[in-house]
Structure 1
Amino acid sequence: MKKLIVLIVVLMLVGPSIGLLSVATLMNPAAISCGSGSLAVGSVPDSLTAQTRDGRSITLNKNQLTHAATIATVGAQTPGVGREGALVALMAALTESTLRMLANTSAYPESGNYQNDGLGSDHDSLGLFQMRSVSGWGTVAELMDPDYQARAFFGGLSGPNAGSPRGLLDIPGWQLLDPGQAAQAVEVSAYPDRYQNFQPVAESILAALTRPQSASAASFDQIVPETSQVAFPLPDGTYTKTDTFGMRTDPYSGESKFHAGSDLAAPAGTPILAVADGIVSFAGQRGTYGGLIVVDHTVGGERVASYYAHMYDAGILVAEGDSVAAGQHIGDVGSAGKSTGPHLHLEIHPGGVDQPAVNAEQWLAEHRAAGVAGAAVTTAGCTPERAV
């Protein structure tokens, strides 16, 4: 215990240079091991068409989407996976098999006796994730079972292989990796860069099949009143713009990657303000976002979702289902999740949480967001209590 206290003091003195770890994380290790929240898998559509990152259109049939639902369901049942882990698994299965259960009769004639979606020919690989029996992933019978393959891919304490070979949960800090890198860490492919191309498709699949269980069910159906105004998410004079929406050089990998938000650097503890009146649909830890608040709004008659990321647990001041006002103090700037220092990562999703993000700074400018001096706008009856 004395060592832990000393380590906490050191981290507090070092401050923003540590970036990725918080005192809250050290006191609660589960905060870093959990994924992005649980998943509720709904009905499977007959087909889905989406585009890969390089612009290629891909259409998945109901059978392929059923396999995707199996992966998401296993992810929902496996502690620590969450939406982020399910996304990684779908990217891997899309890349390896296009979400098809592939037999391999040239290597294992008996594999053709099991239900399958066709034949593969990559050495002696089998199934959705093209796993190899000789590498210890499982028997032929096991690897021809989609549920087993999903459990093997996720691994962890409930996985069938006890960490050898490693599943996603057996990789320390997988939540801090790019999803494509996390997929590669499990698959150990000779072509490590190909998984990233399928991230938009995987995201479309999750949007079609699932929604976060922890989001207030009412927020998806109830009418969110039109906002009275639009506010800037940080007080005037407290922030510096450090990264914008669009392609950028990733600060971790050095690679050119798409950035869905706008980054506003500010001292830790700076008040984060709601950009509009709305209802909180998520408040908690979510993978690389760290502490995340999602608020649903109606702006100009359109449903809009705003995302505020990288808070520590103690910096989340609202709970799911809360009504908030434009300019209300809803959280404090932190550096949890995939972060190199205290800042607010802001995303704006016109159409709602399942729709693509747009340039947040441009959206705020177009809606004439009012700057807020000092800590926050005070609104009668809307003072949030600190989350516990």
Structure 2
Amino acid sequence: MAKLLGILLVLVLTLPSLGLVTVVVLLTPAVTACSMSSLAVGPIPDSLAARTRDGSAITLNRQQLTHAATIITVGSQTAGVGRPGALVALMAALTESTLRMLANSAAYPESAIYPNDGEGSDHDSLGLFQMRPVSGWGTVAQLMDSTYQARAFYGGPTGPNSGSPRGLLDIAGWQSLDPGVAAQSVEVSAYPDRYQNYQPVAEAILAALTARATNSPANEGPRVPETTRIVFPLPSGTYVDTSSYGWRTDPFTGEQTFHEGSDFAASGGTPILAIADGTVTFAGHRGGFGNLIIIEHTVGGERVASYYAHMWDAGVHVVTGSTVAAGQHIGDVGSSGRSTGTHLHLEIHPGSPESAPVNAVEWLAEHSAAGLQDGSVVPAGCIAATA
């Protein structure tokens, strides 16, 4: 190290401009991180074929790649992660679940009610990273949420667990560790050597999902691939249609006003599901909507935006820029903003978030939304309307 510093000192004295740039690049981690390719997620392919380090072939489907996109997106929004951290996280999730959101009905029967990609059976582990509630990683509801699991894996000052259990950013010097060793430091697996096997697959995912888009107009908005399916935004049997799209008596003013959404009364905390694959373009508080999530989708080649309103502060489980899958748990029913009771206010805007909304229930029916069955939506007037 002393010899290296001596060489640098000579460069500074003999070639001041070049020497200064060299010192900054070598000794400033932030500059090194900024020189790496972007972690912005582009279009998600329908499948990706790759090989593990031992030569085994693996093909990931679009659902698995969507989970990978969520992990990458959360990493891009978490200071200190960068591309190396996203690589470690992908290696861990590939090893633990092959990038599947796994329920575990034997240990937690309630885990099966959340959107999932199958059943796991490793003790009481859940989700993409096979995290255990008894180890303090989070509740069942939290661990069945891919965004929460990614935040927990990365940890650090903005992580949900305050360093216990430790996330990647809570491990001193993780950047200097082999990526497989870094993954094991978080997962604490009984099989510590298996993570390295998935490094080539994780690298292939990063290369495929973060490739820069070309010839894309600056005002085009996020590039959103065609959705794989349409689903109803609340679990069957948990809601009542209390105030549909159209003219109604405003519950606050008593005047006739046009209601641009559909209201579904449900108990506070009921899971809200994304109606289609897409990208979150807004997640936060907005006027009378209260806490609002806007997701943009591509359906039948057309851009469509969906609005989910009135969640409580703790009920928003995604952030702007997140990539979500149809049926993913994105929030919980609440009653924030201009609201008279716990419910989901849903709007569908074909074209863009600024376009005029259409009747959400009719749109979902026209697109054969899973979970929307005859009789599952009770006509308005059965119980008191909610705003």
Q: TM-score range by the shorter chain?
A: 0.3 to 0.5
Q: TM-score, normalised by structure 1?
A: 0.48
Q: TM-score, normalised by structure 2?
A: 0.48
Larger Rg: 2
